[in-house]
Structure 1
């Protein structure tokens, strides 16, 4: 499949960011800077870039959570629901700062970003305006079926959270009808030509459905699956002792899985999440530290330079 990626060259090294999977790759030859159309299977075959070995003055990718509100109340959520939510005008300013920062990939998350009605497509397009960034959105999928058409022209990819491959497992965590709504949203997004990546937070309670999730992705026409290691941050900290897997346990679960043709698979360990940049709904930026179990560099973003947090040791 040919789809959009972002490319940039840092001190002679070209890096390509995948907005769906969230990975960074080293192409065998230089590419034009900015948004480029590439074959995703070809990109997947390129070596992954280690940001710690690059001369960077800004992160390769980041997450922006412009909204605190969510229609679900998941007990494993890592968001801080106590922070102030930016106004529409403040969100527009932050989007302009992100666009000017030269970050390659931006994932708009929350809260639930699809609760941003007129804002969401405009914010995504504002970030993409300068042609240097690609934008994805992470959603619980509840409102995706009715919004897929309007989002197709503003997003480069969409990531849908599933806490299980079955309705019983997913709805145990997310609430009644959440699985049905998410599946309907995935089908609608695929139908609109959006590249869809399924995301599952690996836990003791759903690890047995990892293979089934890969098979479901292929059935639905999704392009891939990302298995996320649980982060003991926010509400999820209370579940860590009961549900959290070690990185080694997660690797043992994912390694033997049979991957259907055309499906991309990624395991984001806590180690690989360390150093990732997050911009909160109140306009403050921070980085994951201590194996993504804490935060640091907590500063207000008043301009593009404020997103250029120290990247030493980062794997963003």
Structure 2
């Protein structure tokens, strides 16, 4: 499949960011800088860099958590619900800063970003710079009704599932959540959006990891990312009972059979450490302490404020 990636020359390498999977790759040949259409199978075969190989002027990718509100109340949620939520005008300003920063990929998250009427405007403003690819992470509840308006302005969409079955997913997210997420998945695919499932890997749902891969393949989803639980926000209260070690998560994923054509990725806490998050109040934050805490870094007043020092694990 041909889809849009972001490319940039960095310290002698051509780095390519995948907006669906969230991974970075080294192209074997130079590519034009900016948004570029590539074969996803070719990109998947390219090696992933370590930041020790690079000297990036900005984080390669980041999350813009542009809303605090959510229609669900998941006990493993890592969002800080105490921060102020920005206005539409402030979100447009942040979008311009991201577009000018040199960051290759941004994931629009929350809270639940599909609750924002101006979500397409934010995505459009970021893409207008011509350098950045944009994805969105959603619980899928409102995706079926908004897929048509989002498809032209997003380069990928990530749907959160906490289980491969209705019983498991709804246990964590509430009645009706699974059926709404699956309906949203189908609608997004019908509109031409490339979909990635994301599961927070926990002790009580890891037994459904293989079933989730099989379900994703059946639906035509492009891949599955398993996210190690972060003991941040509401998740602190269940971390002792539910959190896997990185070694346990790695072993779980290593034993899975990956259906043909499906991308599989595990984001360990080690990889999440140092990741940049722009929060809804306009502060750029970083995951710290092995991704066990979040630290406020700086109030963002321009693109330069997003170019925080990167760490080895922030790729």
1:217 is aligned to 2:208: no
Total equivalences in the alignment: 315
Change in 2 beyond 3 A, CA 1:202/1:312: closer
> Where in structure 2 are the equivalents of 1:136-147 lying within 5 Å?
136-147=135-146
Alpha-carbon contact 1:84-1:282 (below 8 Å) kept: yes
Distance 1:215 1:314 in 2: 30
SS of the residue 1:251 aligns to: helix
Change in 2 beyond 3 A, CA 1:106/1:7: same
1:227 is aligned to 2:226: yes
1:180 is aligned to 2:179: yes
Residues 183-227 of structure 1 show CA distances to partners (whole Å, capped at 9, x for unaligned) of 000000001010000000000010000000000101111000000
Q: TM-score, normalised by structure 1?
A: 0.98
Distance 1:84 1:286 in 2: 14
Alpha-carbon contact 1:61-1:105 (below 8 Å) kept: yes
Alignment-derived partner of residue 106 in structure 2: 106
Alignment-derived partner of residue 6 in structure 2: 6
Alignment-derived partner of residue 29 in structure 1: 29
> Where in structure 2 are the equivalents of 1:132-281 lying within 5 Å?
132-281=131-280
Distance 2:14 2:79 in 1: 33
**5+ long unaligned stretches in structure 2:** none
SS of the residue 1:42 aligns to: helix
Alpha-carbon contact 2:270-2:313 (below 8 Å) kept: no
Alignment-derived partner of residue 49 in structure 1: 49
SS of the residue 1:168 aligns to: helix
Alignment-derived partner of residue 94 in structure 2: 94
Distance 1:303 1:247 in 2: 36
SS of the residue 1:64 aligns to: strand
Alpha-carbon contact 1:64-1:280 (below 8 Å) kept: yes
Alpha-carbon contact 2:283-2:296 (below 8 Å) kept: no
Cα distance, 1:287 vs structure 2? 1.1
Alpha-carbon contact 1:67-1:85 (below 8 Å) kept: yes
Alpha-carbon contact 1:50-1:315 (below 8 Å) kept: no
Residues 159-182 of structure 1 show CA distances to partners (whole Å, capped at 9, x for unaligned) of 000000000000000000000000
SS of the residue 1:286 aligns to: strand
Cα distance, 1:298 vs structure 2? 1.7
Cα distance, 1:56 vs structure 2? 1.3
Distance 1:99 1:314 in 2: 23
1:60 is aligned to 2:60: yes
SS of the residue 2:238 aligns to: helix
Cα distance, 1:314 vs structure 2? 3.9
> Where in structure 2 are the equivalents of 1:289-304 lying within 5 Å?
289-296=288-295, 298-304=297-303
Alpha-carbon contact 1:284-1:300 (below 8 Å) kept: yes
Residues 134-164 of structure 1 show CA distances to partners (whole Å, capped at 9, x for unaligned) of 0000000000000001100000000000000
Alpha-carbon contact 2:159-2:196 (below 8 Å) kept: yes
Residues 279-298 of structure 1 show CA distances to partners (whole Å, capped at 9, x for unaligned) of 00000011112211123352
Residues 49-102 of structure 1 show CA distances to partners (whole Å, capped at 9, x for unaligned) of 112431112100000011000000001000000110001111111111111001
Alpha-carbon contact 1:52-1:315 (below 8 Å) kept: no
SS of the residue 2:84 aligns to: coil
Alpha-carbon contact 1:275-1:292 (below 8 Å) kept: yes
Alignment-derived partner of residue 315 in structure 1: 314
